[in-house]
Amino acid sequence: MHAQKEPERLKKNLKLLDVYALATGTTLSAGFFLLPGLAAMQAGPAIVLAYLIAALPLIPATFSIVELTTAMPRAGGVYYFLDRSMGPLFGTIGGIGTWLALVLKVAFALIGMGVYIGLFVPELPIVPVAIGIALAIGILNLVGAKLSGSFQVFLVIILLGILVLFIGDGVTHVQTSHFEGFFDPGMAAILSTSAMVYISYVGVTKVASLSEEVENPERNLPLGIFLALGTALLIYGIGTALMVGVIPIEQLRGDLSPVATAANIIFGKPGVILVSFAALLAFISVANAGTMSASRYPLAMSRDLMMPSFFQKLGKNGMPYAAIIVTVLSIVVFLAVLDTSKIVKIASAFQLLMFMLICFAVIVMRESKIESYDPGYRSPLYPWMQIFGILASIWLLAQMGIWTKVLTGVMVVLGVVWYKFYVRQKVIRSGAIYHIFEQLGQSRYEGLDRELRGILKEKELRKEDPFDELVARSHVLDIGTEVKFGEIVSDVSKLLSRFVPLSYENLNTTFMEGTVVGITPVAHNVALPHLRVDGLAQMELVMVRSKPGVHIQFNNPATDSEEEQTLHAIFFFLSPLDNPTQHLRMLAQVARHVESDTFFEDWLHAEDEQQLKEALIHNERFHSIYLHKDTPTESLIGKELKEINMPVGSLVALIRRDEQIIVPRGNTVLKENDRLTVIGEPSSMRKFHKKYM
C-alpha cells in the first residue's frame, strides 16, 4: 500500500444560504424551463403526476445522503459514501458515473440556455454559445468557492422572485378543460416519463460533494437541502400544472421553451422577456453549481489514489484547478457530440442507480456498528425508508428504454475497468460492509474507523455535548516532579474510585492495559486514557499536568512497535456506557484542542487550576474576567449569581477566590477580586464580552 500524506483540506467558505442556493440552483433549470415540453410528448397533461411520482424515490435518497453527509463531510459526496461503505469498487463506479452524470446535466442546462437565447436571436448557434458560457463558468470556479457561492445566491434570489410572480399571476389563467383525458396516455407512459424527468430533482443532493467546504455542516447541510427540496416540489408541482392549464396540450408537446409560451399567453411579450431572463439565470445557476460539484469528484478520488495525483492539487486560492479544468473540457466535448434527449435519459438512469446504492450505503453503515459513525442527522423510519428508496429506484429504472439501460451499463463497466486496471494495484482498503459479517471479520478495514474519528475532530460540538461543563468541574493534578506513567495511573485510579462504580484495581488495570496494547491515544506529548463505564451517572475528567514530564512506554498501533515518550498532559476520561458516539465526540474535542498551535504554551504557562481548565476550553466559548470597582464588572460585586441577568445560553462555571476554586451555586455571592470563568455559546459570549469587558 502506498504511503500517503494527509491531503490539504478545502476552505469552509459556504454558509446556509450558499447551500440552499446551490441545491436549489441545480434543481430549477432545464427540468422546469425545457423538459416539460418533451415530457408532454409521452404523458400529455399527466406530466404533473409524472413530476410528482419522480420525486418519490428522491425523498429516501435525500434523507440517506443527508445522514451520510453529516457523518462524513468530505469532498466527493456519492463517491466517498459508496467507497467507505462498500469499498473501492463501488466507490470507483459511483465516482466516475456520478461525475459523468453531473457533466451531462450541466451540458443539458447549457443547451436549454441556448434555446431561450434563440427566442430573441434565432440565428445564434446554440452549441457555440453553450460552450462559451461553460468556459466562462469554469473561469469563475477557478477564482474560488466563495465567489461562486455568492454568485449562486444572487442568481437564485432573482430567479425565485420571477417564478413567484409568474406562478402567482398565472394561476388565474388556468383552464381546467386542458386537463381532460388526464390518464389517456396510460400509466406505462406516465411512469416512463417520471423516469425521464427524475433528473429534474437530483441536483438538490449534489451539494453533498461540497460538504467539506460548508461551515457547520451538521446544521447547514440538512437545513439547506430540505429547504431546497421543498422549494423544488412546490415549483415543479404548481409550475407544471400551470403550463398544462394555460398552454393547449397540442402546443405544449415538443415545446422547448414552455415557460416562455405560457408567459406569452399570460403577460404577452413583456412576460416572455421576463421568464426568458429567469431561464437564463436558472441555466447559468445549474451550470455553475454543477461544475462546482462535479469537479470535487476527481479531487476526492485523487486523494484516495484512485485518480492521478494532479487532480488533488490546489491553487493559491484553494481551488482544485486541474479537476475544474478537466470537468469543463468534458462538458465542452459532450456539448459537441450528444443531443439533449440522450443526455437527460443517461443522466437520469445513472442517478437512479446511484441513489439506490446510497440508500443501501446507509443500511451498511448503520449495521456495521462502527462507533465513530456519528451522523448529525439520522434518517427517519430506518430501514423502511431506505428499502422503499431501493425498490422505487429499481421500479423507475425498469420503465426506461433499452438503449438508456445499455448506456447506463456502459458507464458501470467503465468504472469496473478503471478499478481493475488502475485502482486495484494502488488501493488496499475495504468498506464498512466488512464490519457487518462476523465471518469476514479478518477482512474488516480498521483504517475506516480511524478516518471517521479524524472527521469527528473537525466537527463542532452538539448542543447535547457538555464539554465545557465537563472541563469546568474536572479534577486537576499538577505534578511538580518527573514520574512514571504507572504512578500517575495509580493516583488517578484512587481518586476516581471514590465516585465511579469501579474499584481502584479495576481502573488501574484497565488504564494500564489500554496503554500497553495501544488503545490509549498517545501523541504530541499528550495521552488520552479513556473508558466507558456501565452505571456511571455522568462523565468524569481528570487532567494531569507535569512540567518535568511523565515517562511512558506504549505500543504504537501505527507502527506496531513499542515506543517511549515524555508526556506533559494526560486526560483521563470516563463516560456512561450507553452513548458511545458522544464518548468519541468528547475525546475528539480534547484531541482537537491539544493539537492547536497555542495549547501547549497556555498549558505549560498556566499559573493555577483555573488557567489549566481554560487552556482546554475553546476561546470562543468562554471568557475569564476579574471583578473590580470602576470597571463594567462592578455591577456584579455583592450580588448572588441567581440575581445576575446572564445572556441566554451562558453560565458561570468557576469562581477563583484568593487560592480557592469555588463551584458556583445560585446563592453564591460574588466579591471584589473574584475571577469568573463564564462559558456558553459563541453568540452568548459575544454579548457577555460587550457588556462586561
Percent of the chain at pLDDT > 70 equals: 90
16-396 is classed in which CATH architecture? Up-down Bundle (1.20)
φ/ψ of residue 316, rounded to 5: -60, -30
- Which residues neighbour 69 within 8 Å (Cβ) at sequence distance 6 or greater? 77, 81, 208, 211, 217, 221
Neighbours of 678 (CB within 10 A): 22
Within the chain, what is the greatest distance between any pair of CA atoms? 91
pLDDT at 621: 72
Mean pLDDT, the chain, rounded, equals: 83
- What pLDDT digit, counting tens, does each position of 465-503 carry? 888 888 888 889 999 888 998 899 999 999 999 888 989
Residue appearing with cell numbers 441545480: 26
Tell me the CATH number for domain 458-617.
Answer: 3.40.930.10
Closest C-alpha among 657, 67, 662, 684 to residue 359? 67
List, in order, residues 6 or more apart from 103 with CB less than 8 Å away: 290, 294, 327, 330, 331, 334
**Tens-place pLDDT, residues 602-615:** 898 888 887 888 88
The C-alpha atoms of residue 29 and residue 111 are separated, in whole angstroms, by 11
Least reliable range by pLDDT among 22-26, 94-98, 264-268, 584-588:
22-26
In whole angstroms, what is the distance from residue 13 CA to residue 217 CA? 11
As a whole number of angstroms, the distance between CA 545 and CA 604 comes to 8
Contact 84, 72 (CB under 8 A): yes
Question: Does position 262 have pLDDT exceeding 70, yes or no?
Answer: yes
Cα(122)–Cα(115) distance, integer angstroms: 9
Residue 435 above 60 pLDDT? no
- Phi, psi (5° rounding) for residue 657? -125, 115
pTM of the model: 0.77
Q: How far apart are CA 42 and CA 193, in angstroms?
A: 6
Report d(CA 602, CA 612) in Å as an integer: 8
Cell of 665: 451555586
Spatial separation of the C-alpha atoms in residues 615 and 633, rounded to whole Å = 23
- Under 8 Å between Cβ of 57 and 392: yes
Higher model confidence: residue 540 or residue 6? 540
Helix (H) or strand (E) holding 616: none
* First CA to last CA distance, the chain: 55
Supply the pLDDT for residue 439.
39
pLDDT on residue 429: 64
Q: How far apart are CA 163 and CA 242, in angstroms?
A: 12
Distance CA 81, CA 680 (A): 34
* Size of the chain, expressed as the number of residues it contains: 693
- At residue 335's C-alpha, the angle toward residues 155 and 324, to 5°, is 60
CATH class of 619-693: alpha beta
Taking residue 324's Cβ as centre, other Cβ atoms within 10 Å add up to 25
CB-based contacts of 643, cutoff 8 Å, min separation 6 = none
Q: Where are the domains of the chain?
A: 16-396, 458-617, 619-693
Place of cell 492521478: 308
pLDDT tens across 617-646, in order?
766 677 778 888 888 888 888 888 888 888
Q: Is there a contact between 545 and 477 (Cβ–Cβ < 8 Å)?
A: yes
Distance (Å, rounded) from C-alpha 329 to C-alpha 348? 22
**Exposed (0-12), middle (13-18) or buried (19+): which is 663, by Cβ within 10 Å?**
exposed
Q: Report whether the peptide linkage leading into residue 7 is cis, meaning its omega lies within 30 degrees of zero.
A: no
Q: Which of 232, 227, 223, 230 is nearest to 203 (CA)?
A: 232
Angstrom CA distances, 626 to 603, 619, 632, 633, stand at 20, 17, 10, 8
